[in-house]
Amino acid sequence: MKKYIFHIDANSAYLSWQAVYDLQHGNAIDLRNISAAIGGDKSKRKGIILAKSLKAKQAGVKTGQPLFEALKVCPELTIVSPNYQLYMKCSDEMTAIIQTFSKKVERFSVDECFMELSCENPIVIAYQIKEYIHKTLGFTVNIGISTNKLLAKMGSELEKPDKIHTMFKEEIMEKMWPLPVNELFMVGRATYKKLTKYGINTIGQLANSDIDFLNQIMKSHGRLIWHYANGLDSSPVKKDNRKIKGIGNSTTTPFDVDDIRYASLFILSLTEMVAIRLRANNMMCHVVHVSYHRASKGGGQGRQRKLITPTDQTNTIYQTALELFKEIWDEGPVRHFGVRVTMLNTANIYQRSIFDEKNLEKKRRLNQNIDLLRVKYGSQTIKRASFIASGINNVNGGVHDNYPMMTSLL
């Protein structure tokens, strides 16, 4: 199978992540559908625009624009102050999902990753990733596919949002060369001014320029961008060695839940996905956390518990999460559930304890085999009897029968 490089880029990341978070916590307005932006303090009219919605962009709002200028061109602009803790959590969750498709993933920035994968059909894999992220986390991504990092990134920058583009060497002349030269990676404002001064206005003109001339006027940077304009890049995808701090999953229910049976089914369906991702990353957890948000009066509660020994078992995580929920639930209607595990360590160095349940290894192998069957044949292949006729998905938070969950498990 041929090796491909994918570049996965969250669309309007800060704004999308804030919009999803607000919707999950009872906000009726989707920031992505109105003139909205992330950045600064509207009351003081200070700061700059970090991300914007499509409507704000159409009104003339630009990323990096001072807040007071953005409000001049779009007086109705809704400004939301940045929440960097939320953004890092969303970035971690997106990266964790991508890592279930390949073990070679490089986080390039807070909202974009490179992934290397050998496969037969990269476009099919790209659609699986895109739909999986959208279904699980609620926001869209663009994905570029090529045989090197530079071209994959240039591909993902084409038409947005929620698109997949290829940018192979034979497509450079058609797709990349007609673009303005400032759309090439590593061509900033100063470089752009210098290039246009010499009549180099498109990427194609840069690619066909004399490399010695570019070296003369811009030194090594001139040689670098000439190589990029010609689609040449040999930089490897560097595996992201940053430790995953936690794996979580949440869902907003389609109806108010005021019955413990339905509450337990939603918690179980979320736990299924959390445990699958835990095992896919070859990890165990020490801490289980459950949370809920009320349907009408707002607010919610959460509670966590440290386990005696770490686990990757669905039943253990679920039983703990359900116990915690029963401890904090006020029996009022619930519209949002969340399950999260933290304090992770690799399953390879797990040390058995006298507190471990019997037949643990058999149960671990059983769960792993169930994961493989669900990946290969869909999430409905094996389901617990309690979900039959319940109307609730047996695995909640991203599993879709048409999109296998974790191809790296196969």
Tokens of 218: 């811009």
Nearest-angstrom CA–CA distance, 341 and 312: 10
**Nearest alpha carbon to residue 364 among 410, 311, 405, 321:** 311
Nearest-angstrom CA–CA distance, 286 and 345: 8
CA distances to 81, 99, 331 from 47, rounded to whole Å, are 10, 35, 43
257, containing H or E segment? strand 246-257
Nearest-angstrom CA–CA distance, 272 and 274: 6
Pairing of strands 141-146, 164-166: parallel
Q: Which of 112, 116, 157, 272 is catalytic?
A: 112
Contacts of residues 155-162 at CB distance under 8 Å and 24 or more positions apart, as own/partner, are 155/7, 156/7, 156/8, 156/9, 156/112, 157/9, 157/183, 160/11, 161/11, 161/12, 161/54, 162/11, 162/130, 162/134
Tokens of 361: 């290894």
Nearest-angstrom CA–CA distance, 99 and 361: 25
Strands (E), 147-245: 164-166
Q: How many helices (H) and strands (E) does the chain have?
A: 12, 12
Q: Could you check whether the bond before residue 310 is cis, i.e. omega within 30 degrees of 0?
A: no
- Determine whether 112 is an active site residue: yes
Q: Could you check whether the bond before residue 236 is cis, i.e. omega within 30 degrees of 0?
A: no
3-state secondary structure of 201: coil
145, containing H or E segment? strand 141-146
Give the HSE-up count for residue 264: Cα atoms under 13 Å, Cβ half-sphere: 12
Give the residue numbers marked as catalytic.
112
